[in-house]
Amino acid sequence: MNQFVVEDPALDSGSRTERAYHRLRQEILLGDLGANDRLRVAELEERFGLGLTPIREALARLASEGLVSMEARRGARVLEISLAELADLMKTRREIERLCLTESIQHGDARWEAEVVAALHVLGRTPLPGSEGSTTDLEWEKQHRHFHAALVSACGSEWLLRFWNQLMDHSQRYRKARHKGPLVARDVQAEHQAILDAVLRRDAAAAVALMEQHLLATEKAARAALEQR
């Protein structure tokens, strides 16, 4: 048990499992735990101080989401990444994003527009990972996801949004696998602004085309980094 962690007697096993799950998930998506890293239950329990059972349950939940692989007698690992999976993942994400964005533009109201505008405004005021003024990647990733989520939030389909969220998780993992410094090769904010402008014009064709270019650029950068590995 981590001697610096003080357990709350009122904290039940379910709550500890949730904490373990969210902490592990965050470390995987931010790249703090890299592809194929071993996930030893005893080491994680010592680091998190949440108990062995919550750690095991969290790993099982992450395995069901395709973020962790569980092997008999070999324990758990962060799922490996590959060029083939990257291509399949991003192709699928572009298709789902196209559906979600088109439906959102068709059905979204003024409140939806305001939410998307506000999300990009906050993102634009958040330092990029690795840039001056940035302390951690977490806040930028949070606001980046919020902007993309706001864009598709009016699609009206819970199933599409479930698929979108899962694809977003895995594409973020690939982005973090290749990103270890400032995002200097692209003007990501300008790409986001162009998408927003098309959305506010209710020009679905332009918005979808700009989003596809945006996602293709992300895939290209991730592919180049994987090939160097």
CATH number, residue 218: 1.20.120.530
Q: Determine, yes or no, domain membership for 6.
A: no
Same domain for 118 and 49: no
**Domain span at residue 33?**
13-78
Q: Is the residue at 40 inside a domain?
A: yes
User: Is 110 a member of any domain?
Assistant: yes
Q: Are residues 114 and 182 in the same domain?
A: yes
Tens digits of residue pLDDT in 121-176: 999 999 887 666 555 678 898 999 999 999 999 999 999 999 999 999 999 888 87
Token pair belonging to 23: 């902490």
pLDDT value of residue 32 = 86
pLDDT (mean) for 42-61: 89
User: Is 106 in the same domain as 217?
Assistant: yes
Check whether residue 45 and residue 89 sit in a common domain: no
In a domain, 121, yes or no: yes
29 and 130 co-located in one domain: no
Q: What is the pTM of this model?
A: 0.78
Domain final residue pick, 78, 99, 123: 78
Same domain, 74 and 103: no
Whose tokens are 């904010």? That residue is 189
DSSP string, 135-199: --SHHHHHHHHHHHHHHHTTS--HHHHHHHHHHHHHHHHHHHHH--S---SS-HHHHHHHHHHHH
Which of 78, 100, 132 is a domain's end point?
78
